[in-house]
Amino acid sequence: MTLIKSISGIRGTIGGKTGDNLTPLDTVKFAAAYGTWLKNNSTNKNLKVAVGRDARISGKMIQELTMNTLTGLGIDVIDLGLSTTPTVEVAVPLENADGGIILTASHNPKQWNALKLLNSKGEFLDGEAGALILEIAESENFDFAEVDDLGTITVIDDYIDRHIEEVLKLKLVDADKVSSAKFKVAVDAVNSTGGIAIPALLNRMGVEVIELYCEPNGHFPHNPEPLKEHLTDICDLMKKEKADLGIVVDPDVDRLAFIDENGEMFGEEYTLVACADYVLSKTPGNTVSNLSSSRALKDITEKHNGEYNASAVGEVNVVQLMKDSNAIIGGEGNGGIIYPEAHYGRDSLVGTALFLTYLAEKKESVSSIRASYPSYYMSKNKIQLTPDLDVDGVLKAVEKRHASEEISNVDGVKIDFPENWVHLRKSNTEPIIRIYTEAKSQQEADELAQKMISEIEQIIA
């Protein structure tokens, strides 16, 4: 059982002992710390926070604890109920809220949950704010409201529909063109809130929808991380139903993966590449992804005469570099699309609408679009950490071994070899070292990963 406190929020497993897991007491303490931070950093005396959750079994309990803690601080709450991460991000500015909380552990299994924290723009908090909230939580220096000053809870239960309306308003989204193409699309939403949002969006765009695991009951039928090895059911369904496209989202709907008409993975890394190709073809500009993302985005950006930049891993880092470089689209190689015309957050609804419009315009199959992009292959591995392991020391030792290569230590250690690369970093959400490699063949990527794992094991030994 685990509790992970970081500048991006608090994440843990349900049950167990306080301080070791995400118990009700830990939830209240962290929600109180966030509410206290808002009160300390706002001139607004009538604070308001939007709160939504994915469909996890623990979600309702965690949401009630969070909302009632905020009202206990004198903060009003907008209860969005079952929602998605991008929906809450959209709701915060539309409701003139001072912040937002999304109750989701993203791609983690069902025993996990988390509080993800937003600012008044509906964007994730920066490191400075996150560190302050951790300090407040540690000190437990909370000042709760007196009875006449308690906050209120207002329920708004149609925000996914409002979010869809905002997506359909985007200039590069053409629902009529998509409807005319008469697409048949299969959706695997891992029995979370994507099962509400994605089919509803597709229906609005005139698409025939085949639903798989779209009941938002929190009982994940497979590992919720949208990787090839977890998606055999929808790949088989694609072939059986002769569908044009498969769409897979994670439990909070900020990661998006496609499957082609042959039941083959489009490649999570290529979700952003394809959407960027479409956006850049209409509105040339710059792009950003993180250091663990494919080189293919750089290739596509330069094809459209734009500039590509790489940030440290983490959505807040990608967003900041997008703002600094005036990027018109960006995101993360895990299938996260950030399109500032909508908002500065990973959004699978936006990515779905852009890709379907592109698909309708190209009048090609999904597999032929994928074949048009440079082929890179990634291997994603991890090493479990022990409490006594000096991870920074391990990474420095790896860096020293490869000092003659092009190295970035903006976030962990990334070694760029002439034909491939490896990125080693501590995870922000799990007690692991992530090992990402990319090469021009899967075998080469896998071999490079195993070589780096062996190196690390030698260093640890």
Give 9-58 pLDDT, tens digit per residue: 899 999 999 999 999 999 999 999 999 999 999 888 899 999 999 999 99
Q: Where in the chain is the domain with CATH 3.40.120.10?
A: 3-157, 163-371
Amino acid at 117: L
Q: 3-157 domain in CATH 3.40.50.2020?
A: no
**Res 428: pLDDT:** 67
- Concerning whether 106 is annotated as a catalytic residue, the answer is yes
Instruction: Locate 301 and state its tokens.
Output: 């950006």
**Res 389: pLDDT:** 79
**Res 429: pLDDT:** 64
- How distant is the alpha carbon of residue 232 from its chain centre? 22
**Res 131: pLDDT:** 93
Using 50 as the pLDDT threshold, list the residues of the chain that sit under it.
none
Cα 113 from Cα 266, distance rounded (Å): 29
In CATH, the architecture of 163-371 is 3-Layer(aba) Sandwich (3.40)
pTM: 0.92
Q: Where in the chain is the domain with CATH 3.30.310.50?
A: 378-460
List the catalytic residue out of 106, 192, 311, 379: 106
In CATH, the architecture of 378-460 is 2-Layer Sandwich (3.30)
**Res 51: pLDDT:** 98
Which of 278, 286, 284 lies closest to 307 in space, CA to CA? 286
Which of 343, 389, 393, 44 lies closest to 166 in space, CA to CA? 343
Cα 211 from Cα 95, distance rounded (Å): 31
Question: In what side-by-side order are the strands of the sheet with 208-212?
Answer: 208-212, 184-188, 245-249, 256-259
Cα 347 from Cα 350, distance rounded (Å): 5
